[in-house]
C-alpha cells in the first residue's frame, strides 16, 4: 500500500514520511481513528515506506507543492516506490517479516484457548484485498460468520507476537507486527504484551490500530506513540440499519408499549453478539451527538443522521446534561454484560427500562 492510494490523508502521510526520513521511528505506535478513514491502510503504507529500498522524494515548487519527475502534481512529499522487492511483498501482504494480529474466533474444533490470528491468516489477507485495506470490523465479522462467538485478540496471539519479535528479521530492516483493532485485546493478551511493547528486542516495529482507547489498558497506551488519524467519514459510515433500529427503539421507549418493546428486544437478542456490541457502540455515539446538538441549541452540525426528518429534528432535545451520564452508564453496563455472555434478552430489556426512565428525567 502506497500513501498515494489512500484518500484524503496526504497531510498525515507527509508528517509520517518526514519522521521516518529523519530516523525518528518509534518502536511501538498506535494509529487511532475510524477504519473507514484509512487507519489500517496508513499503518501498512507506513511499514512499506520503512522497508522500501527506493523511496521516492518528490520535487517541491515555490508554492510548497510537489511534483513527480514527469511534472505530475502530487500532494505528497514522498512515498514508497511500489516496485522494489520489499514493496511488492508488502503490497501482496506476503512479506516474511510482516505479521498480522487481528480479532479472531475459534475455528473448527479449536477451543477459545487455541484460537489465534494465525489460524485465519489467509482469510484475513483475502479480506484486506477485498476491501482494499479499508474494511471495517463489522465487515470482518461478517466474513468470519461470528454468529454468537466473540471476535477478540487472545493470549495466544500475544504469545505469538513475543515469538515474532524474538526472531531474526529475514529481509526487512525491522521485524514488523501490525495489531488491527488493538482495543479488542483481552486483559491476558494486553498484560502479556506489556514488556515487549516497552522493551522490544532488536529492531522491532509494532503498530497498533484502534477506533477507541476506552477499552485499552492505560499501561498499554502509555507505552506507545499515538497518532490520531483524521476522520473523513466517521460514524456516518455505520450501517443505515442501525439508525432504523435506534429510531424504532427510542420511539417504543417513549410510548412504553411493553408488548412492542418486548418484541423489539426478542429480535435484537437473535443477532450475533458482535453485532449487538456494535449496535450499542452506535447508540453511545448517537447519544453523544444528540447531547452536542442540545447544548448548542440545535446549531451543532452533526454529519450523523438517523434518516428520519421528524426524529432528527426532535429527539436530541430530550438528551440533556442531566440524563446523559445515566444513559451512557446503562449502555456501557449492557456492553460489558454482552461481552461476558449475559443473556442478550435480559440485558436489552433492562437497558430499555433504564433509558426510558432517563429520557423522562430530561
**CATH code assigned to 3-235:** 3.40.50.300
Three-state DSSP at 152 gives strand
What ranges do the domains of the chain cover? 3-235, 238-359
350 Cβ contact list (under 8 Å, min separation 6)? 334
Residue 274 to residue 201: CA distance in whole angstroms: 35
pLDDT at 112 over 70: no
81: which 3 cell numbers? Answer: 516506490
Beta bridge partners of 175: 204
The pLDDT of 96-110, averaged and rounded, is 82
pLDDT at 25 over 90: no
Predicted pLDDT of residue 271: 81
pLDDT at 261 over 60: yes
Q: What percent of the chain has pLDDT over 70?
A: 91
The pLDDT of 325-340, averaged and rounded, is 86
Residue 59 to residue 278: CA distance in whole angstroms: 45
**Cβ neighbours around 332 below 10 Å, total:** 15
The predicted-structure confidence for 163-174, as pLDDT tens digits, reads as follows 888 888 888 888
Predicted pLDDT of residue 91: 92
The predicted-structure confidence for 197-247, as pLDDT tens digits, reads as follows 888 787 889 999 998 888 888 888 888 888 888 775 444 444 567 888 898
Predicted pLDDT of residue 117: 85
CB contact at 8 A, 109 and 186? no
Q: What percent of the chain has pLDDT over 90?
A: 22
3-state secondary structure labels for all residues of 229-253: CCCCCHHHHCCHHHHHHHHHHHHHH
Query: N- to C-terminal Cα distance for the chain?
Result: 49
Residue 38 to residue 20: CA distance in whole angstroms: 19
Average pLDDT, the chain: 84
Rounded to the nearest 5 degrees, what angle is found at the Cα of 113, between the Cα atoms of 112 and 114? 90
pLDDT at 10 over 60: yes
Predicted pLDDT of residue 239: 54
The pLDDT of 282-293, averaged and rounded, is 86
CB contact at 8 A, 334 and 351? yes
pLDDT at 58 over 60: yes
Q: CA 124, 130, 135, 140 torsion: positive or negative?
A: negative
Range with the largest mean pLDDT of 192-206, 236-250, 293-307, 343-357? 343-357
Residue 158 half-sphere exposure, CB side, CA atoms within 13 Å?
A: 21
pLDDT at 307 over 90: no
Higher local confidence (pLDDT), 92 or 200? 92
Q: Output DSSP code: residue 169.
A: P
The pLDDT of 78-106, averaged and rounded, is 91
Residue 31 to residue 128: CA distance in whole angstroms: 17
DSSP H stretches of helix in the chain: 10-21, 39-51, 85-91, 121-130, 137-144, 155-165, 187-198, 218-221, 240-255, 258-269, 273-295, 309-314, 324-339, 344-359
Predicted pLDDT of residue 179: 95
Backbone angles phi, psi at 332, to 5 degrees: -65, -40
DSSP codes joined into one string, 77-134: SEE--S-SHHHHHHHTT--TTEEEE--B---TT--GGG--GGGGHHHHHHHHHHTTT-
pLDDT at 336 over 70: yes
Residue 131 half-sphere exposure, CB side, CA atoms within 13 Å?
A: 21
Predicted pLDDT of residue 256: 80
99: which 3 cell numbers? Answer: 505479521
The pLDDT of 246-253, averaged and rounded, is 90
Amino acid at each position: 500500500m502506497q500513501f498515494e492510494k489512500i484518500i484524503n490523508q496526504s497531510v498525515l502521510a507527509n508528517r509520517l514520511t518526514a519522521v521516518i526520513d529523519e530516523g525518528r521511528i518509534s518502536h511501538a505506535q498506535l494509529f487511532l481513528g475510524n477504519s473507514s478513514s484509512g487507519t489500517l491502510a496508513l499503518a501498512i503504507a507506513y511499514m512499506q515506506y520503512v522497508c522500501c529500498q527506493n523511496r521516492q522524494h518528490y520535487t517541491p515548487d515555490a508554492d510548497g507543492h510537489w511534483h513527480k519527475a514527469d511534472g505530475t502534481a502530487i500532494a505528497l512529499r514522498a512515498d514508497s516506490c511500489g516496485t522494489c522487492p520489499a514493496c511488492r511483498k508488502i503490497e501482496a501482504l506476503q512479506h516474511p517479516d510482516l505479521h498480522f494480529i487481528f480479532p479472531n474466533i475459534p475455528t473448527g474444533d479449536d477451543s477459545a484457548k487455541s484460537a489465534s490470528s494465525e489460524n485465519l491468516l489467509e482469510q484475513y489477507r483475502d479480506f484486506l484485498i477485498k476491501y482494499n485495506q479499508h474494511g471495517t470490523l463489522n465487515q470482518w465479522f461478517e466474513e468470519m460468520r461470528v454468529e454468537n462467538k466473540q471476535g477478540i485478540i487472545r493470549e495466544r496471539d500475544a504469545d505469538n507476537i513475543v515469538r515474532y519479535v524474538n526472531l531474526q528479521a529475514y529481509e526487512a530492516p525491522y521485524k514488523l507486527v501490525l495489531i488491527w483493532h488493538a482495543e479488542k485485546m483481552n486483559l491476558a493478551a494486553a498484560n502479556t504484551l506489556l514488556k515487549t511493547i516497552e522493551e522490544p528486542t532488536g529492531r522491532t516495529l509494532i503498530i497498533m490500530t484502534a477506533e477507541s482507547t476506552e477499552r485499552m489498558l492505560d499501561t498499554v497506551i502509555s507505552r506507545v506513540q499515538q497518532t490520531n488519524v483524521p476522520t473523513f467519514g466517521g460514524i456516518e459510515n455505520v450501517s443505515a440499519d442501525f439508525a432504523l433500529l435506534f429510531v424504532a427503539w427510542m420511539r417504543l421507549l417513549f410510548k412504553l408499549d411493553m408488548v412492542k418493546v418486548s418484541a423489539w428486544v426478542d429480535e435484537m437478542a437473535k443477532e450475533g453478539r458482535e453485532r449487538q456490541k456494535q449496535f450499542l457502540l452506535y447508540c453511545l455515539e448517537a447519544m453523544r451527538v444528540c447531547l452536542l446538538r442540545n447544548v448548542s441549541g440545535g446549531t451543532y452540525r452533526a454529519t450523523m443522521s438517523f434518516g428520519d426528518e421528524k426524529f432528527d429534528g426532535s429527539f436530541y432535545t430530550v438528551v440533556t446534561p442531566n440524563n446523559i451520564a445515566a444513559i451512557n452508564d446503562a449502555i456501557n453496563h449492557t456492553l460489558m454484560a454482552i461481552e461476558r455472555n449475559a443473556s442478550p434478552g435480559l440485558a436489552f430489556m433492562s437497558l430499555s427500562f433504564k433509558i426510558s426512565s432517563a429520557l423522562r428525567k430530561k
